[in-house]
Amino acid sequence: MNDLPDFDAIRVLCVGDVMLDRFVQGSVDRISPESPVPIIQMGETDSVPGGAANVGRNISALGGRCTLIGAVGEDAVGRELTALLTLCGRIGPALVVDPCRPTIEKVRFVAHGQHLLRADREMPGDVSPECGRDIVVRVADRIHEHDVLVLSDYAKGVLTDAVIAGTIAIANEAGVPVVVDPKSARLGRYAGAAVVTPNAKEAAAATGIDVRTDEGAAEAGAKAIAEAGIEAILLTRSEHGMTLVTKDGQVEHVPASAREVFDVVGAGDTVVATLALCLGAKLGLGDAARIANAAAGVVVGKRGTATLTRSELIDELSRLSRIGMSPSQMKVMSADHAVTLREQWERDGLSVGFTNGCFDILHVGHVGILEFARSQCDRLIVGVNADSSVSRLKGPSRPINREEDRAQILGAFGFVDAVVVFCEDTPYGLIERLQPDVLVKGADYTIEQVVGHDIVQRRGGKVVTFDLVPGRSTSNIIAKAGKPAEVAA
């Protein structure tokens, strides 16, 4: 599914255990002489909102808007967390300050890409009844402004039985679907939820059924729905993918999409955030589950408490829809798809460049201009003349290579992000649709002669020329190939 809904208008109310995640980067070169433990030479420290706050970050990164309700302490960590959330722009923190509890803080020490130690600062147990009532009141005051309610349960005390029951009742009364990321084997606590997303360990603990097989996952899902009073369950099964089971008997197994797993921290947050946005956009649970699965596959390929952008998700959905194609083929796309990508890259703050040509027989001059073009932007789209266009421009004996071959060869370059074949003699129409920030052409053209320069300059972009490599051209190669080979002396 490449047609991802626009999440800009979707409002998600997220309630749960907020915390601050710190990652202390360092290096280890020796073992302590005092005891057999590694000594970490501390370097930079990165601090990001975690727990339910990371659900908010994922919603924001994908273009949605989130109101975040949780509890923080009356301390410096709580103030830092609130400030970081406010900087996200699309997150409205509505946090309850509890002076009797510290803000939850997790400090991870990382060396050479490996976690060495995690140190937690928190107070075990539930929040006070007064704090719980304040959270429920805040949900009641805001529920009608939102499309979905998310309960992000990290078992840190915010989502007490009373808070869960109260918030789900309020959402059901308002007709707002509830998505739950659970941390309890007592799934009945979440009765009335639209969908609950336990992982394999949580589902097995709740049902007593091994979910590593598709059959076991389906059985566990049906049992959980019947016993817990929920509408659907989405089992996240790590390398085995996901299994969606609904109250009406629908079962769908979604294979894992991750190509390489670096870090699973926060992957569940990404799943529940994406699922909530999709439900808010009125997608069916099946489509929502597949999109959430794709999002998780991107995030586990990153390190730390990560999020993904809308364009990354679109890229991943496109990749999954084209399984069986080579990576070079996946970069060859329609103009419509390229326009969608260009718009998402712009939303993500990335500059987009464009260059074009026949690229009939690829040579070092082509490589040079493509490398140069990519150095001028964050993402590069290459326009390629179709066979019919090349024949009109170069004569009936051209092209030597078919358009699909020329496009795929260009897609094999790491510095090319997208390739579009166009049938016109010039790429003016394509440039007008793509609206690139940077237009690159060989220096045998003046700026005024570059097709599309007016379009790019009108929007404040730049037109750049590249000095061609002397003596390197497709025509020269063809002429040389046509000459008889010289006999060696």
Q: Is the pTM of this model over 0.75?
A: no
Element (H, E) at 271: helix 267-280
Can you list the alpha helix ranges (DSSP code H) found in 175-237? 200-207, 214-228
pLDDT at position 1, please?
45
Q: Please check the confidence at residue 475 and state whether its pLDDT lies above 80.
A: no
pLDDT at position 34, please?
93
pLDDT at position 482, please?
62
| Phi, psi dihedral angles at 454 (to 5 degrees) | -65, -35
Strand intervals (E) in 364-411:
379-385
Distance of CA 380 to the CA centre of its chain: 20
pLDDT at position 489, please?
37
Q: Which range, of 75-84, 118-127, 371-380, 464-473, averages the lowest pLDDT?
A: 464-473
Q: Please check the confidence at residue 3 and state whether its pLDDT lies above 70.
A: no
| Phi, psi dihedral angles at 328 (to 5 degrees) | -70, -35
| Over residues 51-64, mean pLDDT | 94
Distance (Å, whole) CA 296 – CA 236: 10
What is the token pair recorded at 382? 């290459």
pLDDT at position 326, please?
66
| β partners of residue 91 | 66
| Over residues 409-421, mean pLDDT | 93
With contact defined as beta carbons under 8 Å apart, do 391 and 360 qualify? no
148 φ/ψ sector (left φ>0, alpha ψ -120 to 50, else beta): beta
- Residue 269 a catalytic site member: yes
Distance (Å, whole) CA 166 – CA 136: 6
With contact defined as beta carbons under 8 Å apart, do 139 and 167 qualify? yes
pLDDT at position 309, please?
86
Q: Please check the confidence at residue 17 and state whether its pLDDT lies above 70.
A: yes
- Which 3 state secondary structure label does DSSP give 105? strand
| β partners of residue 67 | 13, 92
Catalytic residue among 17, 98, 181, 269: 269
Q: Which range, of 16-25, 134-143, 310-319, averages the lowest pLDDT?
A: 310-319
Distance (Å, whole) CA 449 – CA 454: 10
For 312, counting Cβ atoms within 10 Å of its Cβ (0-12 exposed, 13-18 middle, 19+ buried), the class is buried
Q: Please check the confidence at residue 187 and state whether its pLDDT lies above 50.
A: yes
| Over residues 451-455, mean pLDDT | 94
Q: pLDDT tens digits for 349-394?
A: 899 999 999 998 888 888 989 999 999 999 999 999 999 999 999 8
pLDDT averaged over the chain? 89
Q: Which range, of 53-62, 91-100, 435-444, averages the lowest pLDDT?
A: 435-444
How many CB atoms sit inside 10 A of residue 155's CB?
Answer: 11
Can you list the alpha helix ranges (DSSP code H) found in 75-199? 76-87, 129-142, 161-174
pLDDT at position 442, please?
84
Q: Domains (ranges, CATH) in the chain?
A: 11-29+37-176+257-320 (3.40.1190.20), 328-480 (3.40.50.620)
Q: Which range, of 141-145, 151-155, 329-333, averages the lowest pLDDT?
A: 329-333
Report the relative pairing of strands 96-97 and 114-121 from DSSP bridges: unpaired
Q: Which residue has the tokens 């590694």?
A: 38
**420: which residues sit within 8 A by CB, 6+ positions away?**
332, 333, 334, 335, 338, 381, 382, 383, 384, 430
Q: Please check the confidence at residue 488 and state whether its pLDDT lies above 70.
A: no
| Over residues 340-356, mean pLDDT | 90
pLDDT at position 469, please?
62
